[in-house]
């Protein structure tokens, strides 16, 4: 379909690694024409940096996979949820393709067993890091799109994500608004939300925290809770729904 490794140095594939990748294919019910491309999808930048050869990382495949994933989910939501407006569709999509969702799915298909990471990343628990797992899954999606085409990768993606979509539609999904807000703000504004305690109410044994979430020094939400975590989640939820609503009028 494309010259997938143009400008890239292939990773060496011995027999043992080929067997591992074949096991992954079997688990996911997919088939790559090029195992080298699948292997590249598992190559974290820490592994590439520590390698003695100038091998490439999976970052370019992750970039592609992010867009392919977004198209597949947007298309599916458009056709299956005709009663939802643009803003509602955007919220559903944001939950489905969030780091929390993708990292959980990556663990389900054992991406952590196959990913190639550097020693430093390994020692710091890299195989369980949500960002690393979610990025690797996007890289696999990008690689499979190149290798097998849109219809094949669409089948793979929807097989993984349709149950997640149903959870969101039925409001049975995990709502980690702090993570969602941070992802969105980081991508859109190139900064991070900041949480500030503005008030503490009540005695020590029955304290209520009031926390504001600031983005570029502007308050986007105020939350209340019996602890800081609860108040931050509430503030993040208000801010997230406000920002998504403004972005999708």
Catalytic residues: 66, 138
CA distance 53 to 73: 37
CA distance 233 to 237: 6
Q: Please calculate the CA angle 137-142-148 and round it to the nearest 5 degrees.
A: 115
3-state secondary structure of 220: strand
User: Contact, 200 vs 213, CB < 8 A?
Assistant: no
Q: Specify which residues 223 forms β-bridges with.
A: 211
User: Contact, 234 vs 77, CB < 8 A?
Assistant: no
User: 115: which 2 tokens?
Assistant: 């990913």
Residue with tokens 């019996």: 226
- Strands 208-215 and 194-201 come out as antiparallel
CA distance 97 to 199: 35
How many other CB atoms are there within 10 angstroms of residue 44's CB atom?
Answer: 25
């Amino acid at each position: 379909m494309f010259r997938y490794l143009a400008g890239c140095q292939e990773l060496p594939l011995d027999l043992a690694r080929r067997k591992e990748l074949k096991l992954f294919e079997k688990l996911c019910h997919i088939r790559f024409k090029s195992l080298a491309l699948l292997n590249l999808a598992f190559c974290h930048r820490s592994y590439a940096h520590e390698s003695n050869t100038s091998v490439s990382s999976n970052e370019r495949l992750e970039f592609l996979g992010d867009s392919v994933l977004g198209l597949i989910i947007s298309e599916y939501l458009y056709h299956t949820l005709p009663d939802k407006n643009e803003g509602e569709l955007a919220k559903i999509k944001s939950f489905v393709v969030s780091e929390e969702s993708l990292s959980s799915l990556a663990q389900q298909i054992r991406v952590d067993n196959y990913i190639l990471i550097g020693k430093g990343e390994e020692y710091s628990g890299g195989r369980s890091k949500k960002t690393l797992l979610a990025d690797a899954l996007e890289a696999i999606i990008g690689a499979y799109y190149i290798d097998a085409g849109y219809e094949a990768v669409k089948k793979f993606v929807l097989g993984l994500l349709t149950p997640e979509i149903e959870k969101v539609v039925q409001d049975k999904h995990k709502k980690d608004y702090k993570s969602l807000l941070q992802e969105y703000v980081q991508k859109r504004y190139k900064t991070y939300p900041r949480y500030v305690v503005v008030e503490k109410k009540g005695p020590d044994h029955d304290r209520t925290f009031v926390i504001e979430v600031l983005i570029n020094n502007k308050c986007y939400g105020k939350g209340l809770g019996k602890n800081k975590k609860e108040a931050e989640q509430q503030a993040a939820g208000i801010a997230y729904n406000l920002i998504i609503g403004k972005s999708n009028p």
